Chains A and B, each alone.
Chain A
Amino acid sequence: MSGMSRIVKTVTNITFPLVLIYGLYVIAHGHLTPGGGFQGGAVVASGLAMILVAYGSVWTMKKINEKHLSALESLGALGFIGLAFLGLIFGTWFFNNYLVGNEILFGEIGRGAANIYTAGVIPLMNFAVGLKVIAGLFAIVLVMAYATRLKEGK
């Protein structure tokens, strides 16, 4: 499908970074405020869908390499299950939260109850799940957009 008018494209250019930052904020603060991996990933994916609608599917598919999208998705999934298996090796139980109370990775970032290291493995798992959800939902939206070309092609 072709894109929309110049006004829509300009507004999309301005608002897409805001949507991106908001989505990443929801992912990163998932252990303190409502949110987390899936919710933030859905926000970013809807921002990407906004780009798809504004610029048209022909332009977007020229810019996106589907193999890279699939690789990102696998990376996110492997990060999640890899952290779970590391819980088996370091913490002697599967899915154990072995980073709670240790200062291995993060040290003192944030004050009081917002310390990252009080949540342990949870922020890392949020990032992995967020990456997978962004790639997965965007792939679904691309498939639906591809289907609209069938009607026009006939």
Chain B
Amino acid sequence: MIYQIPYIAVVALILIGLYAIIFRRNLIKMVIGITLIESGVNLFLITLAFQKDSTAPIYHGSETGLTMSLPVPHALTLTSIVIGVAVTALMLTLVIHIYKHYQTLDARKIGMEGDEE
């Protein structure tokens, strides 16, 4: 049972993130929601690497006879974290520009002007 807890955490993070994006109007809360979903997916990727009684997959200075956890999901998670940093930075910069233009962070009040022209 204790090995299933990370998967429950993954589902909880993704659901909370989706709730924040769909039902909240503040732009910063939408950004936080996307960060939460991405943390959930990264946690899922790392949990896949675990094998029973395994140690870190570092070759130098390791003892023999121990299984190592799979190293490929570690690399996938790192790439995903880097992409997440870039997306978060881009979204926050756009929020700064939106605030400079409209003086409000309410998602229902922006982008409505002059749509017919």
Interface residues of A (CB under 8 A from B): 32-34, 38-39, 113-114, 137, 140, 143-144, 147, 150
A144 touches B96 (CB 8 A): yes
Chain B residues whose CB sits within 8 angstroms of the CB of A140 once the complex forms: 89
Instruction: Tell me the residues in window 28-82 of chain B with beta carbons closer than 8 Å to chain A beta carbons.
Output: 56, 58-60, 78, 82
B60 touches A38 (CB 8 A): no
Interface size on B, residues (CB 8 A): 12
Q: Nearest Cβ distance between residue B5 and chain A, in whole angstroms?
A: 24
A33 touches B58 (CB 8 A): yes
A114 touches B96 (CB 8 A): no
B82 touches A38 (CB 8 A): yes
Interface residues of B (CB under 8 A from A): 56, 58-60, 78, 82, 85, 89, 92-93, 96, 100
Q: Nearest Cβ distance between residue B53 and chain A, in whole angstroms?
A: 20
Selected from A39, A113, A143, the residue in CB contact (under 8 A) with B60 is A113
23 A/B residue pairs, CB under 8 Å, sorted by A? A32-B58, A32-B59, A32-B60, A33-B58, A33-B60, A34-B56, A34-B58, A38-B78, A38-B82, A39-B78, A113-B59, A113-B60, A114-B60, A137-B85, A140-B89, A143-B93, A144-B92, A144-B93, A144-B96, A147-B96, A147-B100, A150-B96, A150-B100
Residue of A nearest to B59 (CB): A113
Chain B residues whose CB sits within 8 angstroms of the CB of A32 once the complex forms: 58-60
In the bound complex, CA of A38 to CA of B56 (Å): 20
Q: Nearest Cβ distance between residue A8 and chain B, in whole angstroms?
A: 25
Chain B residues whose CB sits within 8 angstroms of the CB of A34 once the complex forms: 56, 58
Residue of A nearest to B81 (CB): A38
Q: Nearest Cβ distance between residue A112 and chain B, in whole angstroms?
A: 8
In the bound complex, CA of A137 to CA of B89 (Å): 9
Chain B residues whose CB sits within 8 angstroms of the CB of A144 once the complex forms: 92-93, 96
In the bound complex, CA of A38 to CA of B78 (Å): 9
Residue of A nearest to B95 (CB): A147
In the bound complex, CA of A32 to CA of B56 (Å): 12
In the bound complex, CA of A39 to CA of B81 (Å): 10
Residue of B nearest to A139 (CB): B89
Chain B residues whose CB sits within 8 angstroms of the CB of A150 once the complex forms: 96, 100
Residue of B nearest to A143 (CB): B93
